[in-house]
Amino acid sequence: MTQLFRPNGPRPGPVPSPCISICRMDAQTGLCEGCLRTLDEIADWGAMPDARRRTVLEAVDARRAAIEAADHARFDEPAPAARGG
């Protein structure tokens, strides 16, 4: 599993990028597979004020939670019954 970026509230200094150097865009979701940001969020990061960066990180955390919940639901479902032949 990849390392998760989870900020613990506001920190002094600039807000660090959530990039984990797995830079591939998912065509279905439009999100980077590594950091779960959109192309616009990635492109704008350098010029974003810290308040906006924190908002993006909150969105990233929400996306990650939704993905983890969907994965849990998918793997917690019982396997389909075998068909008799």
Q: Is residue 3 part of a domain?
A: no
As for how many domains the chain has, the answer is: 1
Residues of the domain holding 45: 25-75
27 and 16 Cβ atoms separated by less than 8 Å: no
- CA distances from residue 32 to 11, 21, 63, 69, 72 in whole angstroms, order as listed: 24, 10, 11, 18, 21
CA 65 to chain centre: 8
Q: Is residue 19 part of a domain?
A: no
Q: Is residue 4 part of a domain?
A: no
Model's pTM, two decimal places? 0.72
Give the pLDDT confidence of 4-51 residue by residue, as tens digits: 555 555 566 789 999 999 999 999 999 999 999 999 999 999 999 999
CA-based nearest residue to 37, from 15, 22, 49: 22
Q: Is residue 41 part of a domain?
A: yes
- Residue 32's DSSP bridge partners are 25
